[in-house]
Amino acid sequence: MTSSTPQATLEALGIHATNVPEPLGGGDIGQVWRVTTASGDVVVKHAESEGLEAEADGLKALRQADTGLIIPDIVGELPGALVMTWLPPARPDRQAHEAFGRGLRALHAHTSAEHGWHRDNFAGTTPQLNTGYNDGRVFQRECRLLPMAEKCLQKKRMDRALFDQISSVANALESWLPDAPASLVHGDLWSGNVHFSTQGPTLIDPAIYRHYPDADLALLELFGSPADAFYEAYWDGDAPGDWPRRRALFQLYPLLNHLYMFGGSYRQGVQSAIAHLPQS
């Protein structure tokens, strides 16, 4: 991680700061500031270089998808530093929630045969495997559930009995989860990474890859509940009949990651998700 100040980062990019940097929240994996410059306000983020490179890669992919959602411009990159445009927050109304739903549906309409991504990235601070598989159930098992359960077991966040239950869930996916094309997903779409700005609904801090769109939707519901207008625009009708079970599956991976990082109460969440899922 760079040890320079945000002003030094900007100067290295030929940008002059005109105020004292304002620390921002969301710096769990680094430090983030808002800084005023002669050409407008920017966000300066300092963190481990590999994580910021993966974030920049995700932002570029989201911009290229051209979904109508707002994606911050990358102003500049340095080892251990990423500079992006500042997007002032706005209070979302019904139209903003509808625009978010339509935009996310458009993102998920970008599909491919292969689940995964051309590089690994991070779920928070946890390395995230994105090895390509043509079967999404294999990807979910080999790149999500089993690796994260193994990390939890090694860190003594779970016992062997719980690990075996997760393995059983992972090995039963073909019995009920249909194979499907892989959608482009944000990958870390909890409510804190949905920013309603004056320009419109904005996606930040991606951990992008291609997989079932349920991965984004389930995470949106894990730590909050999107507005009804979002669902009306995204589903354009009713949710799939098996959504509660699919939601439990795709919440299991982020719950395991939180169990791995923080321990404590997340074990109950893991057990609750497993209770809704078939086992082999």
Q: Which of 66, 120, 159, 188 is catalytic?
A: 188
Q: Which residues contact 108 (CB under 8 A, 6 or more apart)?
A: 183, 184, 185, 213, 216
pLDDT of residue 42: 97
Asked whether the predicted pLDDT for residue 1 surpasses 60, the reply is no
- Residue 71 carries which side chain, given as an amino acid letter? I
Q: What single DSSP character describes residue 248?
A: H
pLDDT in tens, 55-79: 999 999 999 999 999 999 999 999 9
* Superfamily of 94-275 according to CATH: Aminoglycoside phosphotransferase (APH), C-terminal lobe (3.90.1200.10)
User: In the chain, how long is the greatest CA-to-CA distance?
Assistant: 61
pLDDT at 273 > cutoff 70: yes
pLDDT of residue 28: 60
- Active site (annotated) includes residue 188: yes
CB atoms within 10 A of CB 193: 18
Please tell me the predicted confidence (pLDDT) of residue 3.
Answer: 55
Q: Is the alpha carbon torsion for 136, 139, 142, 148 positive or negative? A: negative
DSSP state of 5: -
Structure tokens at 269: 């969440």
> Domain locations in the chain?
6-85, 94-275
Give me the residues paired with residue 41 across strands. Answer: 36
**pTM for the whole thing?**
0.94
CA angle 185, 141, 193 (to 5 degrees): 30
pLDDT at 142 over 90: yes
What class is the 6-85 domain? Answer: alpha beta
pLDDT digit string, tens, across residues 158-193: 999 999 999 999 999 999 999 999 999 999 999 999
